[in-house]
Amino acid sequence: MKKQRGQLIILSGPSGAGKGTVCQAATAHNPNLKISISATTRAPRGAERDGVEYFFLDKADFEKKIEENAFLEYAKVHDHYYGTPKAHVLQMLDEGTDVILEIDVQGAAQIKEKLGFGVLIFIAPPSIEVLKKRLVNRKTDSDAQIQLRMKNALTELKQAEHYDYVIVNDTVDQAAADLEAIIRAERCRTQNNLEIIEEMLM
């Protein structure tokens, strides 16, 4: 029987919603679910390894790949490029692996438009109050940065209506279970199984 192609999961949500934590919890339960590795021009930090945490490229190589249309999306942040390598993602999907792209709302729309497929999932906090509490408890941002993140969160929440699913991250375990349930359901969609049916009818 032909192996089913992997599902592309495009995940967005405001800072503090817990996207990364939910992704890590879901991938810990599901060996066929992988988080896409981004490419960057910044230097490795600490024990970061090329091809594990990031694909590390120099600026010239990155800009060459931009010209070659080798990224699904890319952005320049604090003088460093970050991008999602197209070939890496498509190879994993062809191998039957479900791939998560954790990306902002602008990048999510770009990728869906460029590829013509993908499941858009928005991770939302249970309330604005909880979101602010999570940002404060991280102790990584100044008061001004927290206020900016809260302002951006309201803008991002308005985009949730354009997504296929919304997961409210009240508890990580439940949110991860919801993410896994969506992926299982998407694998059962008729359009994703027609080749198997046609194979049996030959």
Which residues make up each annotated binding site? 13-20
Tokens found for residue 4: 């089913």
Beta strands in 25-116, from DSSP E residues, in sequence order: 33-35, 38-40, 54-56, 71-77, 80-85, 98-102
| Rounded-to-10 torsion of CA 85, 89, 94, 99 | 180
- The β-bridge partners of 101 are 10
- In this structure, the strands spanning 165-168 and 119-124 are parallel
Determine contact, residues 15/152, Cβ cutoff 8 Å: yes
Q: CA-CA distances (angstroms) from residue 115 to 86, 129, 183, 199?
A: 10, 36, 18, 26
Annotated binding site for ATP: 13-20
Contacts 24+ apart (CB under 8 A), 47-56: 55/85, 55/88
